[in-house]
Amino acid sequence: MILLAAISSVAQLGLSGCGIYRFTDAAVPDSIKTVKVNFIENKASYINPQLSPRLTDKVRQKILAQTRLTQTNNEADWEISGAITQYSFSTSAIAGQQSANNRLSVSLQLSVYDRKANETRKVDVSRSFEFKGSLSVQAAEDALGEEMIRTLADDIFNKVFSNW
């Protein structure tokens, strides 16, 4: 019993002494209370019309679920903005002179403005998704949809909240 109390005290001291809130690998300085996630624009040459709204919504949901931050549409302590800069398809494997596998590559450029420190940090996120060469672009997008949104939102969250 005494050992458990000692471990608990040490853990609380370690967390409160660092000045950073941690929850599922999210690091947010104590001074940061609010966040604003602007719409992630799609500036790629090929535009999937569902990607921007779904990804923006998923990032907002993830921040609400995994941090103590309050989201706002007004001035926030942190303001996250970004754009999809690449959304392209390529062949990744050939078998019998035909495409056996294809790859969808997605890249984003984000900026995180810290209003309290008056500084902006740039964040790049890139991810590739493999799919069968027999699928059309539309069928591949449908098949990859949920995985792509979840994975990109996770990558964005990890880059934004793990690098401060």
Task: Please name the residue that has the structure tokens 């990607």.
Answer: 51
In words, the CATH class of domain 33-162 is alpha beta
Are β-strands 34-37 and 70-71 bridged in parallel, bridged antiparallel, or unpaired? Answer: parallel
The DSSP 8-state label assigned to residue 69 in this structure reads P
pLDDT for 17 equals: 41
Q: Are strands 78-95 and 98-114 parallel, antiparallel or unpaired?
A: antiparallel
When computed from its CA atoms, the radius of gyration of the chain, rounded to whole angstroms, is 20
Beta strands 26-29; 20-23: pairing state: antiparallel
Please state the pTM of the whole predicted model: 0.81
For 140-150, what is the mean pLDDT?
A: 96
Residue-wise pLDDT tens digits, 79-137: 999 999 999 999 988 887 777 899 999 999 999 999 999 999 999 999 999 999 999 99
Nearest CA to 67 out of 110, 120, 24 is that of 24
